Structure 1
Amino acid sequence: MAAMATVAKVVCCFVLVLGVANGQGLKVGFYQNTCPNAEAIVNDVMRTVFKEALSLAGPLLRMHFHDCFVRGCEASILLNSSTNTAEKDSPPNLSLRGYQVIDRVKAALEKKCPGIVSCADILAIVARDAVVATGGKFYNVETGRRDGNVSSLTETLTNLLPPTANITTLIAGFNAKGLSVKDLVVLSGGHTIGTSHCSSFSNRLYNFTGKNDADPSMDPNYVKVLKKRCKINDQTTLVEMDPGSFKTFDIKYFTLITKRRALFTSDEALLNNSVTKAYLTAQSKNGGSTFGDDFGVSMMNMGRISVITGSAGHIRKFCYKNN
Structure 2
Amino acid sequence: MAASPVLIHHLKLSICTVLLLCLTGTAFAQLRSTYYLLSCPLALPIIRAEVLKAVLLEPRMGASLLRLHFHDCFVQGCDASVLLDDTENFRGEKTAFPNNNSLRGFDVMDDIKHKLENLCPGVVSCADILAVAARDSVYALGGPFWEVRLGRRDSTKASWSDANKDLPAPFLNLTGLITAFANKGFTRQEMVALSGSHTIGMARCRTFRNRIYNDTNIESSFRESKQAVCPAVGGDDNLSALDGSHSDGNCFDNSYYKNLVKKKGLLHSDQALFNGGPTDAQVRAYVHDSSLFFRDFAKAMIKMSELTPLTAPHGQVRTNCRKVN
TM superposition score category, shorter chain reference = 0.7 to 0.9
Give 1:255 deviation, angstroms.
0.5
Matches within 5 A, 1:141-160: 141-160=148-167
- Report if the CA contact (8 A) 1:59-1:194 is conserved: yes
Moved more, 38-47 or 184-193: 38-47
1:265 aligns with 2:272: no
Counterpart for residue 313 of structure 1? 315
Q: Match for 1:294 among 293, 296, 299? A: 296
- Could you tell me how far apart the structure 2 residues matched to 1:191 and 1:168 are? 19
User: What are the ranges of 5 or more consecutive residues in structure 2 without an aligned counterpart?
Assistant: 1-28
- Could you tell me how far apart the structure 1 residues matched to 2:186 and 2:118 are? 36
SS in 2 for 1:91: coil
- Report if the CA contact (8 A) 2:318-2:324 is conserved: yes
User: Structure 1 residues 249 and 109 mapped into 2: Cα distance closer, same or farther (>3 Å)?
Assistant: same
- TM (norm. structure 2) is 0.86
- Could you tell me how far apart the structure 2 residues matched to 1:273 and 1:129 are? 35
Matches within 5 A, 1:5-44: 25-44=30-49
Moved more, 227-236 or 159-168: 227-236
Give 1:263 deviation, angstroms.
0.9
User: Structure 1 residues 275 and 29 mapped into 2: Cα distance closer, same or farther (>3 Å)?
Assistant: farther
1:86 aligns with 2:86: no
- Could you tell me how far apart the structure 2 residues matched to 1:169 and 1:228 are? 29
1:138 aligns with 2:129: no
- Report if the CA contact (8 A) 2:35-2:150 is conserved: yes
Bigger relative contact order, structure 1 or 2 (CA pairs below 8 A, ≥6 apart): 1
- Report if the CA contact (8 A) 1:68-1:305 is conserved: yes
Tell me the amino acid that sits aligned with residue 189 of structure 2. Answer: K
Moved more, 241-250 or 252-261: 241-250
SS in 1 for 2:240: strand
Matched residue count: 293
Counterpart for residue 106 of structure 2? 99
User: Structure 1 residues 272 and 215 mapped into 2: Cα distance closer, same or farther (>3 Å)?
Assistant: closer
- Report if the CA contact (8 A) 1:147-1:316 is conserved: yes
- Report if the CA contact (8 A) 1:182-1:275 is conserved: no
Give 1:85 deviation, angstroms.
2.9
1:280 aligns with 2:283: yes
Q: Percent identity?
A: 38
- Could you tell me how far apart the structure 2 residues matched to 1:129 and 1:76 are? 21
1:66 aligns with 2:71: yes
- Report if the CA contact (8 A) 2:48-2:136 is conserved: yes
Counterpart for residue 126 of structure 1? 133
- TM (norm. structure 1) is 0.87
State the superposition RMSD in angstroms.
1.7
- Could you tell me how far apart the structure 2 residues matched to 1:281 and 1:120 are? 34
SS in 2 for 1:196: strand
Give 1:56 deviation, angstroms.
0.7
- Report if the CA contact (8 A) 1:121-1:143 is conserved: yes
- Report if the CA contact (8 A) 1:73-1:307 is conserved: yes
Tell me the amino acid that sits aligned with residue 68 of structure 1. Answer: C
- Report if the CA contact (8 A) 1:25-1:310 is conserved: no
- Could you tell me how far apart the structure 2 residues matched to 1:289 and 1:79 are? 36
Q: Match for 1:56 among 32, 37, 61? A: 61
Give 1:274 deviation, angstroms.
5.5
- Could you tell me how far apart the structure 1 residues matched to 2:34 and 2:302 are? 14
- Report if the CA contact (8 A) 2:218-2:263 is conserved: yes
- Could you tell me how far apart the structure 2 residues matched to 1:126 and 1:178 are? 23
Tell me the amino acid that sits aligned with residue 65 of structure 1. Answer: F
Give 1:192 deviation, angstroms.
0.5
Give 1:152 deviation, angstroms.
2.5
Tell me the amino acid that sits aligned with residue 198 of structure 2. Answer: H
SS in 2 for 1:271: coil
Tell me the amino acid that sits aligned with residue 267 of structure 2. Answer: F
- Could you tell me how far apart the structure 2 residues matched to 1:37 and 1:273 are? 49
1:253 aligns with 2:256: yes
Tell me the amino acid that sits aligned with residue 67 of structure 2. Answer: R
User: Structure 1 residues 53 and 273 mapped into 2: Cα distance closer, same or farther (>3 Å)?
Assistant: same
- Could you tell me how far apart the structure 1 residues matched to 2:62 and 2:300 are? 18
- Could you tell me how far apart the structure 1 residues matched to 2:116 and 2:277 are? 45
Tell me the amino acid that sits aligned with residue 101 of structure 1. Answer: V
Larger Rg: 2
- Report if the CA contact (8 A) 1:139-1:293 is conserved: no
Moved more, 49-58 or 272-281: 272-281
User: Structure 1 residues 270 and 243 mapped into 2: Cα distance closer, same or farther (>3 Å)?
Assistant: closer
- Could you tell me how far apart the structure 2 residues matched to 1:183 and 1:273 are? 19
